[in-house]
Structure formats: C-alpha cells, structure tokens
C-alpha cells in the first residue's frame, strides 16, 4: 500500500512542472488550474521571475497545480493511495487525493488560503534551525519570544531540522541565543506561517473551509497539526483550520505513513523524500524519472 505525500510552498522554483507538461493527462490538469484562477500560474512557473513565484499568493497555487497534475499521472498509471498527507498547503492536495475535495474546490480553497495569508498585516518570518533537537529549539524560542513578539516552532520537518516562526525581532534574538546550533537558515517566505501572527487570517479561512463541499475521506488522512491518521471529516476540517497558526508535525506524519508502507512524493519536488530519508522512512519522488518504473515493478516495496 502506497502513502502519498504532497509537498508545500517551500518547494517552488522557476521551471517547476516542466516534466508534467510532457504528460497529456498532467498538462490537462495544469491547463484546468489556469482556467480556474483569476490569474493563470503556468507562465510564472515556467519563466519566473523567482521573486514573484515565491510570493505567497503565487507559490501556494503553483505547488498545488503541480501536486494535482502529478496525482493525475499516478491515477492514469493505476495507482491508488492507502494513506495521504500533505506538508502545509500540500494538505489540500492530499484531501483531494483522499476524495474529500473535488479538484476545482481544492484550487479555490488554495487560492483563498494564499490570499488571506498574504494579506496579514503583521510582518514576521521563518528560519530553519539545523542540528538541534526540537526540545532545545522550543526552549530557545520561548526565551527569544514575548507576548508582543511571539516566536514558536512552526515546522518539525525531521530530527535536527526544525523551523521557527514569528516576529522578526524575536528571530534575531534567537540567532544570538542559539550558540549551540550548527546552522540557522533564513527561509524565503512572506510571513510567519504556522504561528500566532497568522491569527488575522483564521476567521476568513474557517469560513472558507466550512463552506467548501467535502466528503468523508476514502483513505486515512494525517493532518499536520495532529500527526495522527483519521477518517473523521469534522476533525479534518478543524485541523485544516488550525493549521494556519498550528505546528506542522511532519516528523510524526512521516512515521505514521511509513508504518502503513512505502510512500511517494506526489508533485515536482524531492524535498519530502529527502526529509523522509532523515528518519529512515521509505519515500520515492515523482520528480525522479525512474520512480514510475520502480513503482510499476514493486508497487508495495
């Protein structure tokens, strides 16, 4: 049984989706996404510029378009998921793969999500802290943050790969405190996602989620904020809403999916496959040209 993992906003790059355009079924999905959007995304994916592509309002829909197109390729090849999860905005594509959302509704929700998040007035940022356990990063974030300038762990990507999210001043204080860290890397994102600074976007996002047509999942879904599999549609909705300000528990998610069987990263990215290897989990990437052949030979290995 295959687990499907869908990448998120941090995987965008100029030229993404090029291999998908060579598959007619994937190209049809990419064209459909363009038709659904107020501003088509495919040209920006192909040509950039990068500074526009990585902007929240473009990046989230760009990666979703590739995720949905790659899923169509797997469907055409006869593969079906046994469990699904998505990293941050990738959770919306995962819900489509599980039968919770239709494709058009997925695109509309992502477009709404990206707009609401890009319009948050409070400015913040995110930085990856490499080489420290999450417990130590939590301690440092608590020391660096304040009520007025919050700082939290936003992403648990893998052991030794933790992302903090919050106010710029608190991020600067953390850099001064983290003398035992091997490396701190500033992320090219527009704000402090998965932190309290996203609170202003939550009411509108909750309304959009509650209004979207959804069906019970056909396979288990692992929400970011719980890291535990579920088929409870109300819990899935609540988790999707909480995700805007809540922590992405990706390390737990990968462990859960790996317990079901091998996984494939569904999109045009190798990031999640790399994170899976850090915890000893089995994950292929569809961005690797040999993946489909390998899945055809060993679909459950």
Q: Among all residues, which ones are annotated catalytic? A: 88, 194
Distance CA(55)–CA(53), nearest Å, equals 6
Residue with tokens 């762990």: 153
* Residues 53, 56, 62, 67, CA torsion sign: positive
Sequence-distant (6+) residues with CB within 8 A of 178 are 129, 132, 140, 184
Contact between 170 and 145 under an 8 Å Cβ cutoff? The reply is: yes
Neighbours of 118 (CB within 10 A): 16
């Amino acid at each position: 049984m295959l687990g499907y993992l869908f990448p998120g906003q941090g995987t965008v790059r100029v030229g993404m989706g090029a291999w998908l355009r060579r598959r007619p079924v994937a190209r049809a999905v990419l064209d459909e996404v363009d038709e659904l959007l107020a501003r088509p995304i495919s040209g920006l994916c192909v040509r950039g510029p990068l500074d526009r592509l990585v902007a929240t309002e473009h990046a989230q829909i760009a990666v979703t378009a590739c995720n949905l197109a790659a899923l169509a390729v797997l469907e055409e090849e006869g593969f079906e998921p046994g469990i699904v999860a998505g990293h941050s905005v990738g959770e919306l594509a995962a819900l489509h793969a599980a039968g919770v959302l239709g494709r058009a509704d997925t695109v509309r929700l992502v477009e709404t999500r990206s707009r609401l998040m890009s319009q948050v007035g409070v400015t913040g940022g995110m930085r990856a802290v490499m080489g420290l356990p999450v417990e130590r990063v939590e301690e440092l974030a608590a020391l660096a943050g304040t009520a007025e300038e919050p700082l939290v762990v936003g992403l648990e990507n893998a052991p030794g790969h933790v992302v903090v999210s919050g106010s710029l001043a608190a991020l600067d204080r953390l850099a001064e405190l983290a003398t035992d860290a091997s490396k701190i890397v500033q992320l090219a994102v527009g704000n402090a996602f998965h932190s309290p600074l996203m609170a202003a976007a939550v009411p509108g996002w909750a309304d959009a989620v509650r209004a979207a047509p959804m069906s019970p999942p056909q396979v288990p879904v692992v929400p970011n904020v719980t890291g535990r599999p579920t088929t409870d549609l109300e819990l899935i909705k609540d988790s999707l809403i909480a995700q805007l300000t809540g922590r992405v528990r990706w390390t737990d998610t990968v462990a859960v999916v790996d317990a079901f069987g091998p996984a494939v990263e569904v999109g045009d990215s190798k990031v999640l496959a790399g994170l899976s290897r850090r915890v000893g989990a089995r994950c292929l990437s569809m961005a690797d040209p040999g993946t489909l052949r390998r899945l055809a030979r060993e679909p459950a290995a």
